[in-house]
């Protein structure tokens, strides 16, 4: 049997496509593909309704946001290679991340690569197959971001998302260990309560080189380890959002090909989440003060509480559809008031991810979200 190409080879060709095929004018290529494309593509595009386009456009926006934030993590903490994701790495921050797992730089790199592929594919499908307008948020990429050693200096002042002042909601940790379901009224306490205090605004990447001062590669400072721990839990927060968003919106999709897109990208978000869920549990216990706020990471690995114990990373069976039915191991939530488009924007906003963004940005994103949530499954 012929061997499949190596990941490195496949990734290189994907990155090449990224560089050359990112922005395509709406309608132009789409019209060509519709005229000359495969019967399956023509069939798919002719039956795609407005609601499906609205769902794909919101998902493209979310993937642009994910790409922006993951790119910032990758510049400082990911593997630096020929794939051209930018940055040169920060050895002190990378070492602090590797306290959670020696492979963190590889996982960060690959999560970043995946988000770029999601963003690029969705916009290409919208424009090239459906003849719909792709999503472009570049006008809002104006945030300063980190200036620490290792960032892509060409991107300073051109970030879409904020990673310097976060309030990370870590209730997903208990949610996946609990037998309760948020769709049926379940509520959950955060695993790291001080990380979600509303005014904490903790950095998840070094803001500048003062955040790495006093660190050694073999011994990160407590301050820098707290920043790396924050990132470790933020990775899980972001990817559990995608884990719920895709199945929630899939319930409103009409066209089978669009449904296939959501059912195929969504579980890759879950694969990311599961990886980060496992790694966050390795964040060392510590207490420090950042921005005047006490930040404590508890000893989750040593906990015996089934709602906190670090290695309980498989989804605990929980209530599903009805509390009268047997509990079932599932993704949750999947109802739109908790896991839908507007809920995702609200959660990312509460996270601090958009601190510094303009009113026009929020209006644009919320309009995309409301349109996606309003989509209704046809017949």
Minimum distance, C-beta of residue 105 to Fe ion, in the bound complex (Å)? 17
- State which residue, 170 or 225, has the beta carbon closest to Fe ion: 170
Taking the C-alpha atoms of residue 313 and residue 311, their distance in angstroms, rounded to an integer, is 5
Q: How far is the CB of 352 from Fe ion (least distance, A)?
A: 18
- Measured from the CB atom, the residue of 200 and 352 that comes closer to Fe ion is 352
CA angle 14, 79, 243 (to 5 degrees): 65
State the nearest-atom distance from the C-beta of 269 to Fe ion, in Å. 5
Shortest distance, position 153 Cβ to Fe ion, whole Å = 26
The H or E element containing residue 336 is: helix 336-339
Rounded to the nearest 10 degrees, how much is the dihedral formed by the CA atoms of 200, 204, 210, 212?
130
Cβ proximity to Fe ion: between 118 and 155 the closer is: 118
Does position 266 interact with Fe ion (CB under 5 A)? The reply is: no
Choose the binding region for Fe ion from 18-26, 114-122, 186-194, 222-230 (rule: CB under 5 A).
Answer: 114-122
66 vs 180 by CB, closer to Fe ion: 66
Token pair listed for 173 = 């940790």
Asked whether position 177 contacts Fe ion by CB under 5 A, the answer is no
Does 110 help bind Fe ion (rule: CB under 5 A)? Answer: no
Considering beta carbons, is residue 236 or 242 the nearer one to Fe ion? Answer: 242
Q: Please give the structure tokens belonging to residue 105.
A: 């730089």
Element (H, E) at 294: strand 293-297
CB contact set of 201 (below 8 Å; sequence gap of 6+): 164, 165, 166, 167, 291, 293, 352, 355
**Residues 51, 242, 266, 340: which binds Fe ion (CB under 5 A)?**
242
234 binding Fe ion? (CB under 5 A): no
In angstroms, rounded to a whole number, what is the distance separating the alpha carbons of residues 79 and 94? 9
Q: Out of 75, 110, 269, 373, point to the residue binding Fe ion (CB under 5 A).
A: 269
Sole window of 33-41, 65-73, 223-231, 287-295 interacting with Fe ion (rule: CB under 5 A): 65-73
CB-side neighbour CA atoms (13 Å) of 261: 27
Judged by CB under 5 A, which stretch of 23-31, 107-115, 160-168, 212-220 contacts Fe ion? 107-115
Quote the DSSP letter at residue 5: P
- Give the total of residues touching Fe ion (CB under 5 A): 7
- Does the footprint of Fe ion cover residue 241 (CB under 5 A)? no
Q: Contact with Fe ion (CB under 5 A): which of 57, 109, 118, 177?
A: 118
DSSP 8-state secondary structure symbol assigned to residue 200? T
Rg (CA), the chain: 21
Residue count of the chain, please give it. Answer: 379
- DSSP of 204-232, one letter per residue? SS-SSGGGTTT--SSS--HHHHHHHHHHH
Closest chain position to Fe ion (CB): 118
Coil, helix or strand at residue 338: helix
Q: Is 351 near Fe ion (CB under 5 A)? A: no
Binding range to Fe ion, per CB under 5 A, among 59-67, 163-171, 246-254, 310-318 = 59-67
Q: Which one of 115, 169, 183, 319 is in contact with Fe ion (CB under 5 A)?
A: 115
- Binding segment for Fe ion (CB under 5 A), chosen from 101-109, 177-185, 200-208, 236-244, is 236-244
Which CB, 118 or 159, lies closer to Fe ion?
Answer: 118
- Supply φ then ψ for residue 295, to 5 degrees: -125, 120
Please, what is the minimum distance in Å from the beta carbon of residue 238 to Fe ion? 6
Stretches 43-51, 89-97, 263-271, 347-355: which one binds Fe ion (CB under 5 A)?
263-271
Under the criterion CB under 5 A, does residue 68 sit at the interface with Fe ion?
no
Shortest Å, Cβ 63 to Fe ion: 5
DSSP letters spanning 73-105 = HHHHHS---TT-------HHHHHHHHTT-TTHH
Minimum CB distance to Fe ion, residue 268 (Å): 7
DSSP per residue, 160-180: SS--SSB----HHHHHTTSS-
Residues lying near Fe ion in the complex (CB under 5 A) are found at 63, 66, 115, 118, 239, 242, 269
């Amino acid at each position: 049997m012929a061997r499949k190409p190596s990941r490195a080879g496949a990734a290189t060709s994907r990155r090449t496509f990224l560089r050359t095929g990112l922005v395509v004018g709406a309608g132009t290529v789409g019209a060509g593909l519709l005229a000359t494309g495969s019967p399956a593509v023509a069939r798919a595009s002719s039956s795609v309704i407005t609601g499906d386009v609205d769902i794909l456009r919101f998902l493209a926006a979310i993937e642009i946001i994910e790409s922006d934030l993951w790119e910032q993590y990758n510049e400082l903490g990911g593997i630096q290679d020929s794939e051209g994701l930018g940055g040169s790495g920060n050895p002190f921050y990378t070492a602090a991340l590797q306290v959670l797992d020696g492979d963190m730089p590889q996982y960060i790199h690959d999560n970043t690569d995946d988000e770029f592929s999601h963003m690029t594919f969705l916009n290409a499908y919208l424009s090239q197959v459906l003849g719909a307008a792709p999503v472009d948020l570049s006008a809002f990429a104006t945030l300063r971001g980190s200036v620490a050693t290792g960032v892509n200096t060409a991107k300073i002042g051109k970030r879409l998302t904020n990673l310097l002042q976060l309030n990370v909601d870590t209730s997903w940790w208990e949610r996946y260990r609990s037998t309760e379901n948020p769709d049926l009224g379940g509520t959950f306490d955060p695993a790291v309560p001080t990380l979600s205090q509303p005014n904490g605004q903790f950095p998840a990447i070094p803001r500048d080189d003062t955040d790495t001062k006093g660190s050694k590669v073999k011994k990160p400072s407590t301050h820098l380890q707290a920043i790396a721990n924050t990132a470790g839990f933020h990775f899980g927060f972001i990817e559990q959002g995608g884990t719920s968003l895709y199945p929630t919106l899939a319930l409103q999709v009409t066209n089978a090909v669009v449904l296939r897109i959501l059912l195929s990208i969504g579980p890759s978000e879950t694969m990311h989440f599961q990886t980060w869920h496992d790694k966050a549990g390795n964040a060392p216990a510590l207490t420090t003060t950042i921005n005047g706020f006490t930040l404590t990471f508890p000893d989750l690995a040593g906990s015996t509480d089934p709602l906190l114990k670090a290695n309980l990373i498989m989804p605990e069976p929980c209530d599903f559809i009805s509390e009268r039915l047997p509990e079932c191991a599932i993704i949750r939530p999947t109802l739109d008031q908790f896991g839908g488009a507007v809920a995702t924007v609200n959660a990312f906003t509460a996270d601090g991810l958009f601190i510094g963004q303009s009113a026009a940005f929020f209006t644009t994103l919320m309009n995309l979200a409301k349109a996606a949530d309003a989509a209704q499954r046809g017949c």
